[in-house]
Chains A and B, each alone.
Chain A
Amino acid sequence: MHMHMQLTPDEAARAAAPLAADATAIAQWRRRREEIAGAAGAHRVELLRAASTHIRRQVLATINAAGLGHVGGDLSVTDILVTLFDALLNIDPARPSWAQRDRFILSKGHCAAALYSVLAASGFFAAERLAHFAAPLSPLNGHPNRRKIPGVETNTGPLGHGLPVGVGCATAAQIGGQPWRTYVVLGDGELQEGSNWEAAMYAAQRGLGGLTAIVDRNRLQQGATTADTNELEPLADKWRAFGWETHEVDGHSHAELLAVLAALPGERPRAVIANTVKGKGVSFMENGVEWHHKVPSTAQLAAAMKELAT
């Protein structure tokens, strides 16, 4: 199952090579963004949906090749990531450390395969490098590393870390009078970590209007539902009680995500509870708790790809 063990010496060297921007992919991403920005409502959603389908296929292939990954959460967060990278974030993949870029943090770092697929589709590095996900010495670690992967703002993996760092990024913009916005995507199970609520309190205290937290609310954690483990509801009320402007959307509706995420910053930090389905897009994975980190077999991959035909 684990293909990395059979890497040839040449392939092993390619797997370990540093990542570099892919000019062709950047040009394609720019064209796609322009097309999406210029399209009328329904067509815009169609374009975003097609981009999401591409990412889902990329995720499945990447995880199948690596023999590991967190496919369920990758598929639930895909539409959120695609909406951000293809329609919203003020970033330049050719200049990943441009000082005034928007900051994007994937706090649920275990969904690295989805993030890497989106970064590759934006040209931060070449998509062919996804074949090296989690390979020995690969920069594409099982969890994101900012020193190895352009487009990654901070190293995540242990849960409950992304929002405090995002509060720091937004505070830096506030103190320095800088224009960037900060977006943090959190898992729902992750909200059981207390550090998130420390950060939520302080973001409201500072009035960090430039900060948006998006909760990938797929209602499943590693071994069970969030409700059966440590109930999060009433989740929107919790964010409101912490002083956040709070919205609930269908996390697979690009239109709903766009509407709420594109709104101008207000006086308060913004929480978006994106209701999602773990394993979204592949019928036999949807809502299946076992697909938290199960790896699709070759036959399952073929069946999934058929469902995700473009």
Chain B
Amino acid sequence: MSKDDNSTGFDCRQAFADELAALARDDARIVAVCNDSVGSSNLVAFRKAFPDRLVNVGIAEQNMVGVAAGLANGGFRPFVCAASPFLTGRALEQIKADIVYSDFPVVLCGMSPGMAYGELGPTHHSIEDLAWTRAIGDLAVIVPADPDETRAAMRWAVAAERPCFMRIGRTKVPAVSPAGQGFELGRSVLLRAGADITLVAIGTMVARALDAAERLAERGISARVINAASVKPLDEALLLAAARETRGIVTIEEAVVHGGLGSAVAELVSQHHPTPMRIMGVDGFAPTGSAAYLFEHFGLTASNIAQRAADLLRTH
């Protein structure tokens, strides 16, 4: 299958649902908190297995996040499960004050992020969530790339006992994580070695970056590929090594190009080892269209990633 094709592959919400149930079986402190999103967050099985531990506040995101803080105060370990645009946009001050500044161990799960709800329009796109969450205190910001990494990040989050935000993808993706990869905050994963240029991607874009590296290899360009699932904090050592050892960095994210992964990498390398960069993502509101259509629209395809990388090398 072409890695640009998101009609097949895995919906990370299923892995999320399976892992949440598994975690809840082992740990009575785990509760799910949602905003009338039992279906869209894939919580039907969780509700059946743990009816008392599903807290559905209805369509009220500010209350949802505040309630999660209170549940954590009372000894529980909440996973807040809600469509990412509403979790982050509507309840941003609750995330800041009640979760991060108050320092409660709550896992904020932004479901169906990016342009997963492409046809529903910009109100339902969550392309600002990385910029918003990355600005808040020491909130961990995590974008898993596939089902295995989603599960590993969830296990890490329970053990970490700290506020974190993670995107849970709805757009189907192929498996990209090497077996046994796991998840550690502040660690990126080198998926492909390369000496000429570095592609740094997250979430749905990781498979496309790998595909782009194949295409570049056909053109004689050796591209390094890094999965930067830990958007905050970044893996500074791995990224600075890439800045030193290759001739440029292209970042690719399903988010606005202001304040997300590309900005984070630029903040790092511009201050410690300046290197030419291209930041690929979304600029402005996206039009209506399926996620696949919008990826094409914004040039978030393997062929265009390869082209931008080759252009960067040619002009520097």
Contact = CB atoms under 8 A, between A and B. Distances in A.
Interface residues of B, number: 29
Contact of A175 (B52, B73, B97): B52
Interface in A156-201: 156-158, 160-161, 163-173, 175-176, 178, 180, 182, 194-195, 198-199, 201
A178 B75 CA distance: 11
Interface stretch (A4-12, A146-154, A229-237, A283-291): A146-154
Interface in B50-98: 52-53, 55, 57-58, 60, 62-63, 65-76, 93-94, 97-98
Nearest to A166: B70
Nearest to B102: A155
Nearest to A157: B97
B231 interface: no
B31 interface: yes
A103 interface: yes
Given A170-B70, A172-B76, A178-B74, A146 B62 contact: no
Contacts of B67: 164-165, 167-168, 171, 199, 202
Given A154-B98, A175-B53, A198 B63 contact: yes
A259 interface: no
Given A158-B97, A176-B75, A164 B102 contact: no
B74 to A, nearest CB: 2
Contact of A167 (B63, B72, B76, B102): B63
Given A171-B67, A202-B67, A164 B62 contact: yes
A264 interface: no
B69 A168 contact: yes
Interface string A137-148: 000000001110
Contacts of B103: 146-147
Contacts of A146: 102-103
Interface string B98-141: 10011110000000000000000000000000000000000000
Most buried by A among B63, B72, B97: B63
Given A172-B75, A195-B62, A158 B93 contact: yes
A82 B211 CA distance: 66
Nearest to A154: B102
Contacts of A199: 60, 63, 66-67
Nearest to B96: A158
B57 A202 contact: yes
Contacts of B52: 175
Contact of A176 (B62, B74, B97, B101): B74
A157 to B, nearest CB: 7
B9 to A, nearest CB: 36
B93 A164 contact: no
A161 B55 contact: no
B98 A155 contact: yes
A159 to B, nearest CB: 10
A3 B297 CA distance: 60
A276 to B, nearest CB: 25
A171 B70 CA distance: 8
A99 interface: yes
B62 A169 contact: no
Contacts of B73: 103, 153-154, 165, 168-169, 172
A178 B102 CA distance: 23
A262 B269 CA distance: 60
A198 B70 contact: no
A195 B103 CA distance: 20
A165 B66 contact: yes
Given A175-B31, A175-B52, A154 B63 contact: no
B102 A172 contact: no
A202 B63 contact: yes
A165 to B, nearest CB: 4
Contacts of A172: 70-71, 73-76
A145 B55 CA distance: 26
Given A165-B73, A176-B75, A201-B60, A171 B97 contact: no
Interface string B18-43: 00000000000001000000000000
A79 to B, nearest CB: 26
A44 B262 CA distance: 64
A160 B94 CA distance: 10
Given A155-B98, A178-B74, A202-B57, A160 B62 contact: yes
A167 B60 CA distance: 13
A165 B97 CA distance: 11
B60 A173 contact: no
B63 A164 contact: yes
Most buried by A among B65, B73, B94: B73
Interface of B: 31, 52-53, 55, 57-58, 60, 62-63, 65-76, 93-94, 97-98, 101-104
Given A161-B97, A164-B63, 18 more contacts: A154-B104, A155-B102, A161-B93, A164-B66, A165-B66, A165-B98, A167-B70, A168-B68, A168-B73, A169-B71, A173-B74, A175-B31, A175-B53, A176-B75, A176-B76, A178-B74, A199-B67, A202-B60
6 contacts: A103-B74, A161-B93, A167-B66, A167-B70, A180-B74, A199-B63
Interface of A: 99, 103, 145-147, 153-158, 160-161, 163-173, 175-176, 178, 180, 182, 194-195, 198-199, 201-202, 205
7 closest cross-chain pairs (CB), A and B: A168-B70, A172-B74, A164-B66, A198-B63, A198-B60, A168-B67, A195-B62
